[in-house]
């Protein structure tokens, strides 16, 4: 095909080569499939109690890192608030602790499993509206909301630049959960994984809405 004079000359190394089609066929005998050893589903020795299992996935060493991240963010917010009283992001009222973080996480899990009409219902003191487990025995509503607004489990000053910002925030937690899961469960060789929606109602550019799913809004996985 003759060159188009309207198109400028470009470096040939940046273009896909225009080669004639090959007349040779590949030898099917040269195909070497991946050799994967057979393995059955196996559950290794689990901790004795559900609390111990939960702590295996979220050990005190991991929570200690989160406390540092939350406290660093709190000091930054305090400094910004002192410089500008009209700053809409008010800092965390006071420092948190490891037991309080465990109570906060347990409350999040309970809220995800036990549905109430609204968030206030989990702290309701009315006998006809009171949930089976009253969260006020463990954490107050105002303190829960305060932690919910300021909770962070990634280092704001040291994000993984090799990943998109959203994924860099959860990469360390994800790796920790995966490594702990491998300690307890051996996945079989033949397994089928169906896609699902991981519920998420926060602000994100990659949330998906599929109305006919049990969990319609969140991340598609």
- Measured distance CA(11)–CA(28) in Å, rounded: 37
Per-residue pLDDT of the chain (221 residues; tens, 9 = 90+): 445 545 455 455 556 667 787 777 766 667 777 777 888 888 888 999 988 999 999 999 999 999 988 888 887 777 776 766 666 566 677 888 999 999 999 998 888 888 777 888 888 777 666 667 778 888 999 899 888 888 888 887 776 667 777 777 788 888 889 999 999 988 887 777 777 888 877 777 778 888 887 888 888 87
**Strand (E) or helix (H) holding 220:** strand 217-220
Q: pLDDT of 121-139, one tens digit each?
A: 888 777 666 667 778 888 9
Identify whether the C-beta of residue 114 lies closer than 8 Å to the C-beta of residue 134.
no
Give bridge partners of residue 199 from the DSSP assignment.
Answer: 218
């Amino acid at each position: 095909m003759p060159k188009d004079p309207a198109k400028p000359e470009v470096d040939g190394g940046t273009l896909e080569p225009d080669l004639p089609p090959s007349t040779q066929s590949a030898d099917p005998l040269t195909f070497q499939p991946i050799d994967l050893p057979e393995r059955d589903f196996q559950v290794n020795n689990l901790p004795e109690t559900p609390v111990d299992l939960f702590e295996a996935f979220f050990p005190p060493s991991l929570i200690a890192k989160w406390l540092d991240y939350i406290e660093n963010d709190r000091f930054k917010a305090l400094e910004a608030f002192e410089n500008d009283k009209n700053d809409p992001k008010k800092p965390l009222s006071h420092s948190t602790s490891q037991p309080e973080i465990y109570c906060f996480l347990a409350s999040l899990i309970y809220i995800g499993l036990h549905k109430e009409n609204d968030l206030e219902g989990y702290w309701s003191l009315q006998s006809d509206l009171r949930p089976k487990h009253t969260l006020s025995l463990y954490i107050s509503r105002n303190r829960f909301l305060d932690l919910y607004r300021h909770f962070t489990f990634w280092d704001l000053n040291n994000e993984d630049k090799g990943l998109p910002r959203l994924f860099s925030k959860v990469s360390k937690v994800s790796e920790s959960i995966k490594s702990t899961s491998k300690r307890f469960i051996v996945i079989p060789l033949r397994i089928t994984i169906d896609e699902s929606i991981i519920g998420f109602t926060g602000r994100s550019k990659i949330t998906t809405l599929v109305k006919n799913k049990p969990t319609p809004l969140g991340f598609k996985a």
